[in-house]
Structure 1
Amino acid sequence: MRTESDLHDYLRDRNLSATAIEYIRQSWINPSRMVGVHARTNVVSFVPSRKLHGKTYSTESRSPERAFLTLCEFDDDVICALDQPDPIQIERTQKNGNRRRGSYTPDAVILTRNVARVVEVKGACDVENYLTKNPADWTRSESGDVLFLPARKAFAELGLEHVVYVYDHEDRFLVENLDLILQARDQESPVVLDRNSAKKLLRNACAITLNDLRVKLKLKDLTPLIHAIDKGILVADLKKHRLANSTSCLVSLNRDLLEHAIELSNKQRVYWDGLAESGDLQLIPTLKSAEHALKRLKKLQSEYTTRSIRRWKTQVKLGLERDLSEFQALIPMIHLRGNRNRKIPAVVDELLMDYLLHSFAQEQGISIYRGYLRYKDLALMTHPQFNPVSRQTFSTRLDQIPREIIGEARGGKRKRNAMTAPTDPQMRSLKTTIPWQRAAVDHYLADIFLIVFSRSGEVYVERPWVTALVDLATSKILGLCISFCSPSRRSVSKVLRDCVRRHGRLPREIIVDRGADFKSVYMASFMAHYGLILSMRPASYPEFGGEVEGFFGEFLKQWLCQRPGNMADYKEVRSVDGNKAPRKAAILQPIDFYEELWTFCEWRENKCRGTGSNSIEFEFSDGSERYPFYAKQISYDSEFITVTAVEDKRYSFSYQKGINIKNIWYYTPALKKLNGRAKKVDVRIDPENPNLIFAKIEDQWEPCYSSEINAYSAKCAAHQLVEGMIKHEASNLRAKIGHQHDLELAKKIRELDEFKKQTKTTPMLDVTILEDEPAVAENIFSHAIGAKLRPINIQKWGA
């Protein structure tokens, strides 16, 4: 569906009411969703929809909502999915049984070939909780569909059907596989696998792995095989196997043969979902308890009879009635020991918890000992008839309070998130395993000083910012840039350009934090222009973005700490004399730092690391070759550098000189078109080339150049980048240095004047000017009047 006219035709043919048509039309024109406003732990994404031909669909979570969109994109019955529509009024049932009207906003509208539906997207755990706690509003039909009755009733009055899509964690492999197939559809392949060819290859095997089949066919990548699965020529279990794991994913010619092969292979597997469960200590004892049980069993087999032995025989008899072996029946229940009833009086317990949650939690830096003393004083005053709890009990009850509650009280959201317990590993989203599928961008203020300007006996230094684009599947550095400015749109543009220059492509999805540079219109428009997914991780959540932070940490600990001018050991830097400070040891120029940064990356990506059997570079190259369809192919051409140029304010221009920006004149003959028609033009500034800008002239972005463009084009890549950084991003710093030098000049002149006055080396003479002297200088030709002139002797000049 491309235009609003197509939408109008669709709705008219479905005989919907005027109210329903207007409701769906508003969802097309202006979705009500502002994703990520209340996001805490979820990743929000802006995903270009194939069925909406470039329009972006926003999702508030990676699992339920992204999964729902993937299924809609893959389902041929769904024409398109529209973003969150407007809220409506529904009647919900309260805990006391009363019904109350309130606002309700569904998650999406889907237009299928037969009917339009309003959809609520929920996870399976949430749905089970609703079904248990609120059965008056949530129910399950005979067919197994989950119904939210208040919304279903309200939308029925509008003439629309309301449904609930339930995302089950068991569908995670299916969703990932469908997404991979959708990406492969965009990739053309010179090899086409038909059914006859597949039968010849599999005539001696009921199933084969994707990678083995690729080797048999001598294919460079897996694209033809993914196309064959998409067309039904090959069959794969998309719910249990991952197409991203080509060495384990089995394919066959029909479902029966595939299930037989999977059953045989599963017998050798070490683990599968649901294999490990919690075990009863009476069945699986600790080593200490097992030792006690064996000793008891040995005594039972002896001829002695004691009170304990008679009791153990009774335990064995009762155990046999519960299908327990003699060994299991004699296992001591040590873990059940202890009195679990509260021994502290209620008034004491209430005061203790109130103090811990509302007083102690709010105090910054107070120790447990000092906090206990303040509690003890308060308790003696509040309930003198009861003793305060001991310090040990005070510490125990403090430890029982969730760490995130203390963290939020003392450090806000960021500390709360840092102290929050991790999520269940089994319920987490799948990590990407394919290069170019997902990458992350972040910034780092490098712990080193670089020389910006030097003169005899003195240098001026500055700390650079490093921006990195990291592939999340392999930890490969896709792009880097350095800057002397704080993170901005310019830094983002530079790192994306670097990636395209090096690889000729960009990752399909880029994950960023919620900084202003990433939330800018520039970033959103760039991603939409090339059909890429922009995802934002939760704000103030240190656990996210660890891949990029890990690279920065490696660079600091393994390389930067060995270079002059570094401040890697912050404690040491704080304790040294001023003449030994890192800024005094700086010798690296920006070009040196840039080249060393890439030298470290090359070493890092080819070294042995972790538990993997391959280097980063090998994993990246191999994965990129097998799955080439995830990367977005982009040429580094005029369109790309124009799109990535950073739009600035409107500038005045001169018809004779051009446009002046920071004392640099830029000109293009196309400016003549604006003669007498405009006084200012819109400008996009190239973030890397200081000799190029783009001016909006009529309906074109025209490149404008400075006079140094020819000399700049002859320089090598590293020198071009550093020159642009110095001119663009160090101009303010150099202006401050120049201002400081001008002050030095004024100081020298003042000191020289004071010295001359004190030593009287320059006598002050009074000069008398005669009043009768002519005010106008004598004409130099006045002497020639009346003079005799010598005749001119003309001679002939020869060659």
Structure 2
Amino acid sequence: MHTENELHDYLYRSGHNLSLAAIDYIRQSWINPSRMVGAHAQSNVISFVPSRKLNGKTYSTESRSPERSFLTLCEFDDDVICALDQPDPIQIQQTIKNGIKRWAGYTPDALILTRNGPKVVEVKASTEVDDFLVSKAEDWKRYESGEIVFEPARKAFAEMGLEHVVYVYSQEDRFLVENLDQLLLSRTHETELVLDEERLTKLMHNAFAMTLHDLREKLKLKDMTPLIHAIDRGLLAADLKQHRLADCRNCLVSLNEDMLEHAIELRNKQRVYWDGLSEHSDLTLIPTLEAAEKAITRLDKIKSERSSRSIRRWKHQLRIGQENNLTEFQSLIPMIHLRGNRNRKIPAVVDELLMEFLMGTYIHEQGLSIYRGYMRYKSLALDTHPQFRPVSRQTFTTRLEQIPGEVIGEARGGKRKRNAMGAPTDPEKRGLKASIPWQRAAIDHYLADIYLVVFTRTGEVYVERPWVTAMVDLATSKILGLSISFSSPSRRSVAKVMRDCVRRHGKLPREIIVDRGPDFKSVYLASFMAHYGLILSLRPSGYPQFGGEMEGFFGEFVKQWLCQRPGNLADYKEVRSVDGSKAPKKAAILQPVDFYQELWAFCEWRENKCRGTGANSIEVAFMEGAELYPFYAKSINYDSEFITVTAVETKKYSFSYQRGINIKNTWYYSPALRKLNGRKKKVDVRLDPENPNLIFARVEDKWEPCYSSSINAYSAKCAVHQLVEGMIKHEAFGLREKISEQHDLELARKIRELDEFKEQTKTTPVLEVPIPEGEPDNTENLFSQLANATVRPINIQQWSA
């Protein structure tokens, strides 16, 4: 559904007999979402996904697994005309803990328009639904058919004339959702490869079933696109719930589902692991090595026909075990793990004071060691309950360790510290990681631990630390783009790394995941991603674990390369312990050009070295994956449209008819600016993030390029020097202004010193040299006469011309 007319036809002419309230609700949802997702998200990755059924408009999802999966299913389902996110909230009657009904606001997750009528949808994970069925049993019901119903919302929307349903996401659907997403993506990719269907059928008849990798090699196809299209059209059968199309070496395909099912059954008999295979086991059935040795020793003693009190007790254990269907070995396993008195031994008043001190005082004190904390507790305990001794330091430490790390972290360092000290999530419930190049990339910034030379003069060097912005492919860890800057992270940094990626590869990744910094939450980045139909995802704020790939790259750069370069700050503790004359600032010799070239030299070395457990280097894995699945990358030409879109819009600037537009002491002009004469005094401007000699000015309904007088010389320079020139002129402008101000202060100081000297002397020194009468002797050196000269001051009353 793309237009208002199509929506009007759906509401009034499709035979759904919608009420006026339902029509108004749908129209309001069509106009715009009711709220911005992720405002209160704690651990969710929110995404803005272009929807094919909405003609490229973005659909915002509040979680990667449930809501993102629901959107994929809607995009793939032909019965769903379109899905609208975040409809308007309504009032529903919910049941609170004491059983009382209370009115509360409720915002559903989606509104879908289907061929059978509109539906309001609540999206939940299966684990969350299972919890609600117990904790909120009055409102959440499971019918005999298995359908989950949220009764308050169902009743409220029924009065409006709309159906409310609950979509339950299960972890078992993760492969299906990934495969459907890949099928949808492949539909947008046109390939020149032609699939020989007759040869394909012949091969599959002979082989019964085959992996995608083997089939591609036998058909001599360059990539997987024709085979993915064949699965999408039904020409090939694949188990989309158990296998991954992204794993071509393990994904079986056949001509029909029956043959495929038998092939999968045969292959699965040899598998080492499958979902649900490993579960917890009781120590009474599977003992430790020590307990097993003791059980075997007991069996040997029983069989020796000797008699003792212990042997009689073990024989009694055998009889009890036989009644419980246990083997002789299992019956004699010692219950070592049940030893010990687990009842509390310290008095209640002592225990209460200990926990009150730990939770109320100790965990809030930053930098307080365990020993000092124990001393403070001991002093408090001796005064509070003198009749009981304080607990030992060991007990104090044990009870402290029993407090969850996230509780201590939040008390001492807020949300970010809490997340860093929290326990990891269940690996079985995590989402699938990116496995194909260009599927997903991350962008982040890093203040480099090195000083670069910005400006030099006789006997003095001015240095500054650069910011590095990197784009990393999350499937292979390849660096897709880099930029350096002397400015703090901003929209300009994002634009530069996007441009670098397009220049090097002619592509951008399908999805880019970033943190929630102001540069990434800007309208600029959101509009750029929407313009090219790319997915923008924001990871949770204050969760350092979510940026591990980026931090890993920056850490490698510091530890493996930067620590060996002059002017580095890699060992910060060492830096603080050295003399000022040996400080990194004094050792800086690298220019920005050198640093940029060395940064890429490190990336090339890193991507071809042996690392991890993989059989291929980063570069080989990236090239092979990108060739097999070419439809993930978004092809983009580095042309006029792209550089205009990536230019950063800024404030309005004054316009001079005689000279043009002045920005940071540089004049920009274009003949098109003549159209603004007498009409506007200020003009909208987009700054090129890299080229200091180019801006775009809004003239009528177009962005016109305006150039400085240095544009011709700039075009003749190499790429690295072009980038660095822009970095120095634009991003180091503020720093250079400070340096220039220092030099102006030096000039003012010199003039003041001369004025003070003049005030002190009030005279002008005159050199007196005796000159003999008559003809001068040419043999005598004139300069030798100066040795006996005297200096006599004379008073100057007035200068006149």
TM-score using structure 1 length = 0.95
Does the residue aligned with 1:101 lie in a helix, a strand or coil? strand
User: Could you say which residue in structure 2 is the equivalent of 1:778?
Assistant: none
Does the residue aligned with 1:665 lie in a helix, a strand or coil? strand
Does the residue aligned with 1:143 lie in a helix, a strand or coil? coil
For 2:356, give the aligned amino acid.
D
Q: What is the 5 A alignment of 1:152-301?
A: 152-193=154-195, 196-301=198-303
Does the residue aligned with 1:51 lie in a helix, a strand or coil? helix
User: Could you say which residue in structure 2 is the equivalent of 1:729?
Assistant: 731
Conservation of the 8 A alpha-carbon contact between 1:443 and 1:466: yes
Conservation of the 8 A alpha-carbon contact between 1:44 and 1:60: yes
* Distance in 2, Cα, partners of 1:671 & 1:261: 71
Q: CA deviation at 1:92?
A: 1.5
* Distance in 1, Cα, partners of 2:189 & 2:562: 42
For 1:305, give the aligned amino acid.
S
User: Could you say which residue in structure 2 is the equivalent of 1:126?
Assistant: 128
- Superposed CA deviations along residues 119-142 of structure 1, whole A, max 9, x for unmatched, are 000000011111122222111122
User: Could you say which residue in structure 2 is the equivalent of 1:6?
Assistant: 6
Conservation of the 8 A alpha-carbon contact between 2:237 and 2:260: yes
* Distance in 2, Cα, partners of 1:75 & 1:582: 61
Q: What is the 5 A alignment of 1:755-794?
A: 755=757, 758=760, 760-762=763-765, 763-767=794-798
1:331 aligned to 2:362?
no
User: Could you say which residue in structure 1 is the equivalent of 2:659?
Assistant: 657
* Distance in 2, Cα, partners of 1:404 & 1:769: 85
Does the residue aligned with 1:453 lie in a helix, a strand or coil? strand
Conservation of the 8 A alpha-carbon contact between 2:139 and 2:151: yes
* Distance in 2, Cα, partners of 1:604 & 1:571: 27
Q: CA deviation at 1:324?
A: 1.3
1:626 aligned to 2:628?
yes
User: Could you say which residue in structure 2 is the equivalent of 1:795?
Assistant: none
* Distance in 2, Cα, partners of 1:746 & 1:260: 91
The number of residues matched between the two structures is: 770
User: Could you say which residue in structure 2 is the equivalent of 1:779?
Assistant: none
* Distance in 2, Cα, partners of 1:551 & 1:161: 49
User: Could you say which residue in structure 1 is the equivalent of 2:369?
Assistant: 367
User: Could you say which residue in structure 2 is the equivalent of 1:353?
Assistant: 355
* Distance in 1, Cα, partners of 2:718 & 2:107: 56
Does the residue aligned with 1:135 lie in a helix, a strand or coil? coil
Conservation of the 8 A alpha-carbon contact between 1:50 and 1:73: yes
Q: CA deviation at 1:768?
A: 8.0
Q: What is the 5 A alignment of 1:450-469?
A: 450-469=452-471
User: Could you say which residue in structure 2 is the equivalent of 1:638?
Assistant: 640
User: Could you say which residue in structure 2 is the equivalent of 1:513?
Assistant: 515
Conservation of the 8 A alpha-carbon contact between 1:407 and 1:415: yes
Q: CA deviation at 1:195?
A: 5.0
Does the residue aligned with 1:165 lie in a helix, a strand or coil? strand
User: Could you say which residue in structure 2 is the equivalent of 1:775?
Assistant: none
* Distance in 2, Cα, partners of 1:717 & 1:754: 52
For 2:143, give the aligned amino acid.
S
Q: CA deviation at 1:758?
A: 5.0
1:100 aligned to 2:95?
no
Q: CA deviation at 1:377?
A: 3.0
- Superposed CA deviations along residues 772-794 of structure 1, whole A, max 9, x for unmatched, are xxxxxxxxxxxxxxxxxxxxxxx
- Superposed CA deviations along residues 80-108 of structure 1, whole A, max 9, x for unmatched, are 10011111111112222222221111111
Q: CA deviation at 1:657?
A: 1.0
* Distance in 2, Cα, partners of 1:464 & 1:695: 29
* Distance in 2, Cα, partners of 1:584 & 1:768: 49
Q: CA deviation at 1:76?
A: 0.6
Conservation of the 8 A alpha-carbon contact between 1:89 and 1:104: yes
* Distance in 1, Cα, partners of 2:718 & 2:399: 65
User: Could you say which residue in structure 2 is the equivalent of 1:545?
Assistant: 547
Unaligned runs of 5+ in 2: 766-793
Conservation of the 8 A alpha-carbon contact between 1:27 and 1:86: yes
Distance 1:768 1:188, change over 3 A: closer
Q: CA deviation at 1:346?
A: 2.9
Conservation of the 8 A alpha-carbon contact between 1:418 and 1:542: yes
User: Could you say which residue in structure 2 is the equivalent of 1:535?
Assistant: 537
Q: What is the 5 A alignment of 1:401-416?
A: 401-416=403-418
* Distance in 1, Cα, partners of 2:795 & 2:463: 45
Q: CA deviation at 1:264?
A: 1.2
Does the residue aligned with 1:398 lie in a helix, a strand or coil? helix
Conservation of the 8 A alpha-carbon contact between 1:198 and 1:253: no
- Superposed CA deviations along residues 691-710 of structure 1, whole A, max 9, x for unmatched, are 00000000000000111101
For 1:167, give the aligned amino acid.
Y
Q: CA deviation at 1:352?
A: 2.0
Conservation of the 8 A alpha-carbon contact between 1:441 and 1:468: yes
TM-score using structure 2 length = 0.94
* Distance in 2, Cα, partners of 1:486 & 1:438: 25
Q: What is the 5 A alignment of 1:501-650?
A: 501-650=503-652
Question: Which segment is superposed worse, 489-498 or 385-394?
Answer: 385-394
Q: CA deviation at 1:194?
A: 6.4
Conservation of the 8 A alpha-carbon contact between 1:565 and 1:586: yes
* Distance in 2, Cα, partners of 1:672 & 1:681: 12
Conservation of the 8 A alpha-carbon contact between 2:566 and 2:590: yes
Q: CA deviation at 1:403?
A: 0.7
Conservation of the 8 A alpha-carbon contact between 2:764 and 2:796: no
User: Could you say which residue in structure 1 is the equivalent of 2:777?
Assistant: none
* Distance in 2, Cα, partners of 1:645 & 1:657: 22
Question: Which segment is superposed worse, 507-516 or 754-763?
Answer: 754-763
Conservation of the 8 A alpha-carbon contact between 1:33 and 1:83: no
For 1:332, give the aligned amino acid.
P
Q: CA deviation at 1:396?
A: 1.3
1:31 aligned to 2:33?
yes
* Distance in 1, Cα, partners of 2:140 & 2:195: 48
Match of 1:487 among 489, 498, 516: 489
For 1:179, give the aligned amino acid.
D
* Distance in 2, Cα, partners of 1:182 & 1:404: 40
For 1:295, give the aligned amino acid.
T
Match of 2:59 among 54, 57, 60: 57
For 1:489, give the aligned amino acid.
R
- Superposed CA deviations along residues 515-539 of structure 1, whole A, max 9, x for unmatched, are 1100111011101100111000110
For 2:491, give the aligned amino acid.
R
Match of 2:700 among 695, 698, 701: 698
Does the residue aligned with 2:81 lie in a helix, a strand or coil? strand
User: Could you say which residue in structure 1 is the equivalent of 2:677?
Assistant: 675
* Distance in 2, Cα, partners of 1:704 & 1:768: 52
Q: CA deviation at 1:684?
A: 0.4
1:22 aligned to 2:53?
no
* Distance in 2, Cα, partners of 1:350 & 1:112: 59
* Distance in 1, Cα, partners of 2:741 & 2:152: 70
For 1:765, give the aligned amino acid.
I
* Distance in 2, Cα, partners of 1:390 & 1:663: 71
Conservation of the 8 A alpha-carbon contact between 1:70 and 1:175: yes
Conservation of the 8 A alpha-carbon contact between 2:506 and 2:637: yes
Identity across the alignment (%) = 75
* Distance in 1, Cα, partners of 2:190 & 2:530: 22
Q: What is the 5 A alignment of 1:418-437?
A: 418-437=420-439
Conservation of the 8 A alpha-carbon contact between 1:194 and 1:233: no
Does the residue aligned with 1:89 lie in a helix, a strand or coil? strand
- Superposed CA deviations along residues 611-661 of structure 1, whole A, max 9, x for unmatched, are 111000000000000000000000000000000000011111111111111
Q: CA deviation at 1:756?
A: 5.0
Unaligned runs of 5+ in 1: 771-799
